[in-house]
């Protein structure tokens, strides 16, 4: 098996290479720290798993990623959360923020190798087929990226989505919470066309599960399972108008 580490910080690249070699003693691990070398290595596609930093000097790695169709797997380890959507558009196995958790990195690499060994192609495999399935089901489900793959969650079961730094937490009707490596903007892009509303910069709510607008201790929405969702002071009039218009349309 072949690992490629594209990281323009040489000490970080060497430290990561040492970890990978410890976990996979038989593996061939190559480090590229020079921009042109990284470009050349990616162009050859001579790897099973590429561990990629995103910002490489004045460039970002997406400029160099070729169309991969042989099952190569991409894992991003970066200090920025701005490119998360772009990374998953490339069917990334995972998107890990620095300083990274060593256990998560190892788990993600093993998942990447499992996908590679199963012959799951980057462009035509697991993620893209599930995405097509979701589209065919007319957005009945939201595809949640998890460590082990994707979970299709019925949108009707989603009460609200809460921002948690560069992650977001999906609150379900049964009280379960699922945290995914995506931003709230990602959820809004997919769910606002389904009627979800953003009463606060940290929340996205399903109108079908709103049960009350409360004025005690600031403004909030009480959801069907008892969850309280903050309403921004500056948004209260818009939220009330939205609730009235939504109720009138039922």
Q: What percent of the chain has pLDDT over 90?
A: 34
Q: What percent of the chain has pLDDT over 70?
A: 84
Predicted local confidence at residue 172, as pLDDT: 94
Q: Following DSSP, what letter does each residue of 169-227 receive, concatenated? A: EEEETTS-EEEESS-HHHHHHHHGGGT-EEEETTEEE-GGGEEEEE-TTSEEEEETTS-
For the chain, the structural domain boundaries read 2-124, 154-248
**Which token pair is 233?**
């002071």
Low-confidence ranges of the chain (pLDDT < 70): 66-71, 85, 119-139, 147-150, 217, 246-250
Q: Does domain 2-124 have CATH number 3.40.50.2300?
A: yes
pLDDT tens-digit series, residues 57-75? 777 788 777 655 456 788 9
Q: Does domain 154-248 have CATH number 3.20.20.70?
A: no
How is residue 157 annotated by DSSP? Answer: G
Kind and range of the H or E run holding 28: strand 28-32
Predicted local confidence at residue 66, as pLDDT: 64
Residues with Cβ < 8 Å from 175, sequence gap 6 or more?
A: 225
The backbone region for 25, taken as left when phi is positive above 0, alpha when psi lies in -120 to 50, beta otherwise, is: alpha
């Amino acid at each position: 098996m072949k690992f490629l580490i594209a990281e323009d910080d040489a000490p970080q690249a060497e430290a990561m290479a040492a970890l990978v070699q410890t976990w996979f003693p038989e593996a061939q691990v190559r480090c590229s720290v020079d921009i042109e070398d990284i470009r050349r290595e990616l162009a050859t596609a001579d790897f099973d798993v590429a561990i990629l930093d995103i910002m490489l000097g004045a460039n970002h790695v997406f400029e160099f990623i070729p169309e991969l169709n042989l099952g190569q797997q991409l894992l991003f380890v970066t200090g920025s959360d701005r490119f998360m959507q772009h990374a998953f558009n490339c069917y990334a196995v995972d998107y890990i923020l620095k300083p990274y958790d060593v256990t998560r990195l190892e788990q993600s690499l093993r998942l990447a190798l499992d996908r590679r060994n199963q012959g799951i192609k980057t462009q035509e495999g697991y993620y893209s087929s599930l995405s097509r399935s979701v589209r065919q089901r007319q957005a009945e489900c939201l595809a949640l990226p998890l460590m082990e793959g994707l979970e299709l969650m019925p949108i009707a079961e989603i009460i609200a989505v809460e921002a948690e730094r560069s992650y977001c937490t999906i609150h379900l009707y049964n009280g379960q919470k699922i945290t995914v490596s995506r931003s709230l903007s990602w959820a809004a892009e997919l769910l606002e066309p389904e009627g979800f509303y953003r009463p606060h910069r940290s929340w996205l709510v399903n109108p079908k599960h709103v049960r009350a607008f409360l004025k005690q201790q600031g403004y909030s929405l009480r959801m069907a399972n008892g969850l309280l969702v903050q309403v921004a002071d500056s948004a209260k009039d818009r939220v009330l108008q939205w609730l009235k218009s939504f109720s009138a349309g039922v």
